[in-house]
A and B are shown apart, each in its own frame.
Chain A
Amino acid sequence: MSDKKPILEFKDIHVEVEGKEVVKGVSMTINPGEIHAIMGKNGSGKSSLSNALMGHPSYTITKGEAYLKGESILDMEADERSRAGLFLAFQYPLAIPGVTVANFMRAALKSHRGADADMSDFRKLFKAAMTDLSVDQSFATRYINDGFSGGEKKRIEVLQMSMLNPAMALLDETDSGVDIDAIKIVSEGINRYQSENNGVLMVTHYQRLLNYVKPDKVHVMMDGKFVLTGGPELALKLEESGYEWLNEEKTGV
């Protein structure tokens, strides 16, 4: 108990975007070694929650607390949160024209290691990470996400995660737009990274990813709230029956 501080813990988080409350009081505790999944309909607030936890300026946390390894993160800028060990893989990774993947990755790693850090191992690490994720070496000199296919973008997100090796990874639909073979590659990447010392929170719509990366807990989000939390079997039930039965259950109560 003493050394088992949660990796990520948030309580009663409310998020507002464009003056509208889209996350309405959610809580979660992710302990070291745990994999959690959030499922839920389009527009239920999954990305808003992930963005807000990462510190996106448009997603204001109006109420609640959030701790990374016991430390409050809500006053931190996004770059500080990243350096503190939080990572967000984007649902829609952005293109940055003119900035090569290699230069970006080097700057990112350097920011984590500190300004004076030795970077002589960078090329080797970067090459190995590309090989692991079946990313062609030519991507090193391409501009970030510029003209990348949907699946390529997601693999590059996982590559960034594997190189930065964060304590806590938020993966927002890292399986969407990825073909069947590539889901395997992406899942293997997540599993290689995952360990007893870190935490994973995946947002997904599909059981397929969860077949490869086994969640300890599945949370169902509806209209900005977690309405149900269960084990992996919950994902199977959702895949089978959709979300309607949850509505009935809710109104039935």
Chain B
Amino acid sequence: MTTQNQDIMIPEITPELKRGPQWLQDKRTASKESYNNSPIPRRGLHLWRYTDPASFVVDKDQVVDTAFRANLNYTIEAELAHLKDGNLSAFVVDKSGRDIEINSSDNVTSDVIIISTLSDAVESHFEIVNKHLYSLVNNETGKFEAMNSALWNDGIFIYIPDGKTVEQPIHLLRESGLDKSAQFPRLLVVVGKNSEVTIIDEYAGGSETQSDNMSLTNSAVEIFGDIDSRTRYISLQRNSEGAKIYLAHRANAEQNASILTVPLAFGGAISKQNFGVTLNGEGADSKMYGLLFGGGRQHYDNHTLHHHAVGKTTSDINFKVVLKDKANSAYTGLIRIENSAKVCEAYQENRNLLLNKGCKAETIPELEILNEDVICSHGATIGPLDPEMVFFLKCRGINETDATRMIVSGFVEATLKQVPADLKEKIPEFVAKRLEDI
């Protein structure tokens, strides 16, 4: 099965992409070969039942295209002001995974956070990068992970040394280009022993309408939480309406480390996102509170993974989906508990709220529990807005639109509670926007 359509193979890696020392170039080349030599995943194959893989293939000329930039100046100015006010530790603007601008707060010194481009970190923090980069998302993870592994131009590197608490969040703004652009952003986060950090990873921009030239963003995120560390990672996908997004997120939690992951998705045309945490040391805990809000003809395909590699680890997933118009969503949630991983607790819940006929949701819990000494539960529901709830609120004078908004906000409240205050303020805006023309 190695006959490949030449047109969709990754071409010779352009000089621009040849950054880094030989070992890195070798990895890129290996990834390129993995991509070119692997077939396009068949529809119906695990995790590809709901989205056409062809959506994420790029044309030769797309890859080397100079990125167009979406106009995100407003956000940028507002966030720079936050930085100045001391409400952020750092604000990074990542333009199409090519130009990365790092703004650090004056209050935060480099013994607390090291934040740089990946291309710089390859030199300045060789050992950490060499040890972690590609260890969670690489050419063996999947075809499109191989694509990112080959083609990322520059990425973001965040390293919190042992015993440091970063008080204010780090905000990353990943801008996608307009039509025909393709970008391969990459993020590597290493949180040292007993350290603490919050990262807000916001994806914006991309094609504004659906067409044959939709922008593609293929992103890879690797997060390492060392012993006793506490990491909060919020992924906010609010790309424009014509953007295609492929995201591979993987995190590792060592002994007694806790990781909170908050995947939020409001944007994009076709969005396939995969969030996974491996619990690698006793006492490790992962919580994932996700929220997706789709309208129009948006298509979402989300996968989550909680992998209990060792015993005495705990995980909890609560993933909420709200859809209207003709939007659709598929959610696949895998909990895997190894045979040797005794005394684990794992919970998973996926609730889908459909605001009108015409939208569609699917939910597929997957449990691979290889021993019996665990507590595990899962629940899933798909249903319309409860007309009794609407009536109840209307009986108190609240009009139908406001009643719907209240019920939807209530539905997502448990998820929003987990989001840091500064970001939480923005989220009801996105929800309200989706509800505007009900």
Contacts and interface: CB of A to CB of B under 8 A. Distances in A.
Interface of A: 54-58, 77-79, 82-83, 87-88, 90, 93-94, 96-99, 103-104, 107-108, 111-112, 143, 160, 164
Given A98-B410, A99-B407, A90 B396 contact: no
A112 B402 CA distance: 13
A56 B396 contact: no
A83 B400 CA distance: 13
A79 B389 contact: no
8 contacts: A79-B395, A82-B394, A93-B392, A104-B393, A104-B406, A107-B402, A108-B396, A111-B396
B430 interface: no
Contact of A112 (B389, B393, B397): B397
Contact of B391 (A56, A104, A164): A56
B418 interface: no
A131 B393 CA distance: 23
B347 interface: no
Given A79-B394, A83-B397, 18 more contacts: A58-B387, A78-B394, A78-B395, A79-B397, A79-B400, A82-B396, A88-B395, A97-B413, A97-B414, A99-B407, A103-B406, A104-B396, A107-B402, A107-B406, A108-B393, A108-B398, A143-B410, A164-B397
A97 B396 contact: no
B221 interface: no
Given A57-B387, A97-B410, A99-B410, A90 B397 contact: no
Q: Which 10 A-B pairs have the closest CB atoms?
A: A98-B410, A98-B413, A111-B397, A108-B396, A99-B410, A78-B394, A82-B397, A79-B394, A83-B397, A94-B392
Contacts of B406: 96, 99, 103-104, 107
A141 B368 CA distance: 39
Interface in B352-411: 387-389, 391-400, 402-403, 406-407, 409-411
A140 to B, nearest CB: 15
Contacts of A90: 392, 395
Nearest to B389: A96
A96 B397 contact: no
Contacts, number: 79
Given A83-B397, A111-B397, A78 B391 contact: yes
A229 B2 CA distance: 88
A76 to B, nearest CB: 11
Contacts of B407: 96, 99
A58 B413 CA distance: 29
Contact of B393 (A55, A83, A96): A96
Contacts of A107: 393, 396, 398, 402, 406
B219 to A, nearest CB: 31
Contacts of A54: 395
Contacts of B392: 90, 93-94, 96
Interface residues of B, number: 23
A172 B406 CA distance: 25
Interface string B203-221: 0000000000000000000
Contacts of A94: 388-389, 392
Nearest to B413: A98
B227 interface: no
B233 to A, nearest CB: 24
B412 interface: yes
A189 B3 CA distance: 80
Contacts of A108: 393, 396-398
Given A98-B409, A98-B412, A111 B399 contact: yes
B394 A77 contact: yes
A77 B397 CA distance: 10
A57 B391 contact: yes
Contacts of B398: 79, 107-108, 111
Contacts of B402: 107, 111
Contacts of A56: 391
Contacts of B393: 79, 96, 104, 107-108
Contacts of A97: 410-411, 413-414
B394 A98 contact: no
B344 to A, nearest CB: 28
Nearest to A143: B410
Interface in B111-152: none
A160 to B, nearest CB: 6
A130 to B, nearest CB: 17
A220 B15 CA distance: 90
A160 B396 contact: yes
B289 to A, nearest CB: 13
A245 B70 CA distance: 80
A88 B414 CA distance: 29
A111 B394 CA distance: 10
Contacts of B411: 97-98
Contacts of A78: 391, 394-395
A78 B390 CA distance: 10
Contact of A98 (B387, B395, B400, B414): B414
A240 B411 CA distance: 47
Nearest to A51: B391
Which of B388, B396, B399, B409 has the most chain A CB atoms closer than 10 A to its own CB? B396
Contacts of B400: 77, 79
A93 B389 CA distance: 10
Contacts of A93: 392
Contacts of B397: 79, 82-83, 108, 111-112, 164
A139 B114 CA distance: 45
A79 B406 CA distance: 15
Given A57-B387, A94-B388, A107-B402, A82 B395 contact: yes
Contacts of A83: 397
B409 to A, nearest CB: 7
A104 B396 CA distance: 9
A97 B417 CA distance: 13
A77 B390 CA distance: 12
A99 B396 CA distance: 14
A246 B52 CA distance: 70
B356 to A, nearest CB: 16
Most buried by A among B394, B400, B403, B409: B394
A89 to B, nearest CB: 9
A222 B372 CA distance: 57
